[in-house]
Structure 1
Amino acid sequence: MKQLLEFIPLILFFITYKLSGVRDAAIVLVIATLVQMAILKWKYGTIEKQQKVMASAVIFFGLLTAYFNEIHYLQWKVTLVNALFAIILLVAQFQFKTPLIKKLLGKEIKLPEKAWNTLNLGWAIFFMICMLVNIYISRNMSEAAWVDFKSFGLIGMTLIATLISGAYIYKFLPKDEQNNHKDGGNL
């Protein structure tokens, strides 16, 4: 339910853009994001820090997009958010010697420190690639192509990165845990 709720503003943005254009789509995106945050707070009692950052960026850049009727503001948001995530992961790993991916997943999964560092670096590179692809598409393709990329391309890229991460993590699972996962958890 929580994951579906996170996609609703994006879906509404895409539909509204196709039907009515960028200004209306940006307004719908901002309103849907505010409603989404209210529902998350009501249903789960708290809003995660990453969700707050994303919602703030969506609201700020969405309002600029609506006011100026110019999609470039939302395009910048995607670039800046991906750059921010990459920088945070890299600074945490190289400056503070703490891979943030381990902080997110370390309670559920036990990996060697080198594996956490590799995974953290991989996600930082992923966010940089997303940033660069976004820049390329926003500057060299049509507005409609960018909306399609934002709505579906980034989700596809994230799914692929998640599958690659899962395959990488799987190599480090203890053999009895791997067999348990293959059997569907049945003993």
Structure 2
Amino acid sequence: MQSFESDTTPTQQEKANPGLKLALELGPLLVFFFANLRGEWLVEKLPVLSALGGPLLVATGLFMAATVLSLIVSKVVFKHLPVMPFVSGVVVLIFGGLSIWLQDETFIKMKPTIVNTLFGVTLLVGLLFGKSLLGYVFNAAFQLTDEGWKKLTLRWGIFFLFLAILNEVVWRNFSDAVWINFKVWGTMPITILFTLAQMPLIMKHTIESKPGDGY
């Protein structure tokens, strides 16, 4: 079985454990939020954490550990690694490690910018070469016309760049507390609303399956 699969192609294990799948995706973010909120308490209980630095860097270290644990459990239980969480996890480890090593919080704050820019640029560059790359990720969830895939890929590419810019605006102009709350409680609702807003486009360009097609 392939190690990497579409985020929208649920395995039998994922269908049987939707709550665990959600916990693995949101868990590291909640660990990050709690660890930053109770950083001083955590250092008091576990003095070894003080070696990581201030509260945000302690939260970063625990975020990295939770991310690795989440990916390991996903691989063991669900038999595959979802592409987007895996890419995000790699960036977390790189930029989180740099933040702790250099004692500079800037790197972990830029992580969402880097990830979203990477996804956005990849989708848009793919379109320039005539490839609707989003279709390779979502084709197991629904079938669209070529025009539909192109429009959806364009919209998601622009949306990822929007998230990258929004992250830069928030972390550069507001406090750490505001940025963390935005990262944990703001990005997800914005993404859900954007996804729901694409349903008319998806419905308009959906290819109707015929009896006997195996769907």
What TM bracket, shorter-length normalisation? 0.7 to 0.9
Is residue 116–residue 163 contact of structure 2 (8 Å, CA) maintained in 1? yes
How many residues were matched structurally? 176
Task: Find the counterpart in structure 1 of residue 108 from structure 2.
Answer: 74
**Match for 1:10 among 23, 29, 33?**
29
In the TM superposition, what whole-angstrom CA distance separates every residue of 1:58-116 from its partner, at most 9, and x where no partner exists? Answer: 11112222334432111111111111001110111112x12112122223322221111
Q: Does 1:19 align with 2:35?
A: no
Task: Find the counterpart in structure 2 of residue 108 from structure 1.
Answer: 141
Is residue 145–residue 207 contact of structure 2 (8 Å, CA) maintained in 1? no
Displacement after TM superposition at 1:139 (Å) = 1.0
Displacement after TM superposition at 1:27 (Å) = 1.1
Q: Which ranges in structure 2 are unaligned for 5 or more consecutive residues?
A: 1-19, 40-54, 210-215
Mapped partners of 2:201, 2:181: distance in 1: 29
Task: Find the counterpart in structure 1 of residue 79 from structure 2.
Answer: 45
Q: How does 1:105-184 map to 2 (within 5 A)?
A: 105-173=138-206
Is residue 152–residue 198 contact of structure 2 (8 Å, CA) maintained in 1? yes
Secondary structure at the residue paired with 1:171?
helix
Displacement after TM superposition at 1:174 (Å) = 6.8
Mapped partners of 1:159, 1:29: distance in 2: 23
Mapped partners of 1:117, 1:79: distance in 2: 24
Is residue 22–residue 69 contact of structure 1 (8 Å, CA) maintained in 2? no
Task: Find the counterpart in structure 2 of residue 185 from structure 1.
Answer: none
Secondary structure at the residue paired with 2:149?
helix
Task: Find the counterpart in structure 1 of residue 89 from structure 2.
Answer: 55
Q: Which ranges in structure 1 are unaligned for 5 or more consecutive residues?
A: 177-187
TM-score normalised by the chain length of structure 2: 0.75
Mapped partners of 2:207, 2:113: distance in 1: 38
Percent identity between matched residues is 27
Bigger helix fraction = 1
Task: Find the counterpart in structure 1 of residue 14 from structure 2.
Answer: none
Distance 1:172 1:158, change over 3 A: same
Task: Find the counterpart in structure 2 of residue 179 from structure 1.
Answer: none
Secondary structure at the residue paired with 1:57?
helix
Distance 1:104 1:115, change over 3 A: same
Q: Which has the higher contact order (CA 8 A, sep 6+)?
A: 2
